[in-house]
Amino acid sequence: MTETSTSPPPRRLVRLIVLATAVVALVAAGVAALLVNILERKQEARNPFFRVVEVDDRTEDAAVWGQNFPLQYDLYRRTVDQVRTRFGGSEALPRTPTEVDPRSVVARSKLEEDPRLKRMWAGYAFAVDYREARGHAYMLEDQTFTQRQQVVQQPGTCLNCHASTYVAYMTMGEGNLVRGFERLNAMPWVEAKEYVRHPVSCIDCHDPASMQLRITRPAFMEGIRALKASQGVADYHVNRDATRQEMRSYVCAQCHVEYYFKGAEKRLVYPWARGHRIDDMLAYYDELDFADWTHAETGARVLKAQHPEFELWKEGIHARAGVACADCHMPYRRVGAFKISDHHVRSPLLNINHACQTCHNVPEEELKARAEAIQERIHNLRNRALDALVDLIDDVAAARAAGLSDELLATPRRLQRQAQFRVDFVESENSTGFHAPQEAARIVAEAIDLARQGQLALRDAGVRRP
């Protein structure tokens, strides 16, 4: 009884002190973690980057730039990822490499998915091979090994947007960018390919001295100059006159646009002299009487729409609100104390948190559902437009086989050209209409009407559907 009265209280006290020590030690550890964290952030904030190698106007390899900017470079390398969204992107499909095409992974063929596309492009290389889009990392490889290369001889012009060409232009033009551009365009693709080595690289968008955004593609310089002239802005030099926020779209618009190859020298031209809307571009082509090819089934002189993301985006609400391509496709990402642009360029639907929610304070699922609802509607409209177009192609081909004169076929063929350019515009544009939903719906709706008008024109010419 005496023991319990003397020794237990100290034991209890000891236990209490040990417990308190453990708690305080834990707090001390937490404070130390906080201190180290603050220290790290302060250090990072002090040094925005370390220049460990010199990069200059001839440094093409992104890996060299990557030594100075490892965070951006790591993200840039991730454009190898193949991820599907509901209507876009691609998944990696295994493939048995052959001697002509050593790729072991490709994207799914859109032609097999939707054979109507083959009908639309009959007689053109796209009817042979056309696949789902892969990331920037694959641009050169995919162009090198597409079967389109085997059926036609492509000009060097194609490389403008399938490789890092700035250094090649400067080398070939002996310091004159535009002369180098002209020389590369005029070469056969196989020959021109010898001058390039990398897919799009840092130098294609960044000035190596200041890291500011910079336009390096003469075709865009000329195109935007013509577009500005059509709006009453004379003598526009993009690298001198564009704002920083405009540049965050313009560097992308060096490639994500509608274009054609002009004349025998195959000069890359963006058809914006009358404006950037589809009607303006079609009027521009009509005035030149330009056609990409003659349709194999109908004999119509038709156009291939490319990937007019920039033009469609300009018609949409986001462009109107001053939101640039990079705001959604390269949103900021925080790495320690740094805030950097996400150089893993990809669909905002794969990164809704950073891409959309910086502005839209709405749950992620709701934003995704909203985007997909828009895309589904445009996709369904596009399906109807493709049906209408194929119906018209069937009818014109049948009338032609039955011996209808070129004179009477002229109107249906012209309507095919107009309808087809519109369907192709929305089909080849990479947002399934999201960049400007109402404009996309207008374009496809007009395509349906024009295709059916073509059928009516045949009926008026005395052709009966079988």
Instruction: Provide the total of helices (H) and of strands (E) in the chain, helices listed first.
Output: 22, 8
Residue span binding another protein (CB under 8 A) among the ranges 29-37, 295-303, 425-433, 437-445: 29-37
Q: Is 362 in the site for another protein (CB under 8 A)?
A: no
Query: Which residues are CB-contacts of 51 (< 8 A; sequence separation ≥ 6)?
Result: 68
Q: With contacts defined by CB under 8 A, how many residues of the chain interact with another protein? A: 32
Q: Is 45 in the site for another protein (CB under 8 A)?
A: yes
CB of 244 vs another protein, minimal distance in Å: 16
Residue span binding another protein (CB under 8 A) among the ranges 35-43, 73-81, 233-241, 279-287: 35-43
HSE, side-chain direction, 13 A CA sphere, residue 96: 0
Q: Is 317 in the site for another protein (CB under 8 A)?
A: no
Which residues inside 1-20 make contact with another protein, applying CB under 8 A? 6-7, 10-11, 13-14, 17-18, 20
Q: Is 373 in the site for another protein (CB under 8 A)?
A: no
DSSP 8-state symbol, 108: P
Q: How far apart are CA 84 and CA 372, in angstroms?
A: 13
Q: How far apart are CA 193 and CA 184, in angstroms?
A: 9
CB of 344 vs another protein, minimal distance in Å: 16
Q: How far apart are CA 140 and CA 369, in angstroms?
A: 34
Residue span binding another protein (CB under 8 A) among the ranges 37-45, 73-81, 158-166, 230-238: 37-45
Q: Is 358 in the site for another protein (CB under 8 A)?
A: yes
Nearest to residue 76, comparing CAs of 135, 144, 132?
A: 135
Q: How far apart are CA 371 and CA 355, in angstroms?
A: 13
Residue span binding another protein (CB under 8 A) among the ranges 27-35, 218-226, 268-276, 390-398: 27-35
Nearest to residue 443, comparing CAs of 455, 459, 431?
A: 431
Q: Is 334 in the site for another protein (CB under 8 A)?
A: yes
CB of 36 vs another protein, minimal distance in Å: 8
Q: Is 34 in the site for another protein (CB under 8 A)?
A: yes
CB of 229 vs another protein, minimal distance in Å: 34
Residue span binding another protein (CB under 8 A) among the ranges 28-36, 68-76, 83-91, 390-398: 28-36
| Member of 144, 239, 357, 453 binding another protein (CB under 8 A) | 357
Q: Is 353 in the site for another protein (CB under 8 A)?
A: yes
The CA distances from residue 322 to 222, 327, 373, 438, in Å, are 23, 10, 24, 18
CB of 70 vs another protein, minimal distance in Å: 19
Quick one: which H or E segment has residue 177? helix 177-186
Residue closer to another protein by CB (options 41, 237) is 41
Q: How far apart are CA 458 and CA 412, in angstroms?
A: 6
Query: Which residues are CB-contacts of 275 (< 8 A; sequence separation ≥ 6)?
Result: 227, 230, 231, 281
Query: Which residues are CB-contacts of 172 (< 8 A; sequence separation ≥ 6)?
Result: 179, 180, 183, 184, 195
Q: Which residues bind another protein (CB under 8 A)?
A: 6-7, 10-11, 13-14, 17-18, 20-21, 24-25, 27-28, 30-35, 37-39, 41, 45, 334, 337, 353-354, 357-358, 361
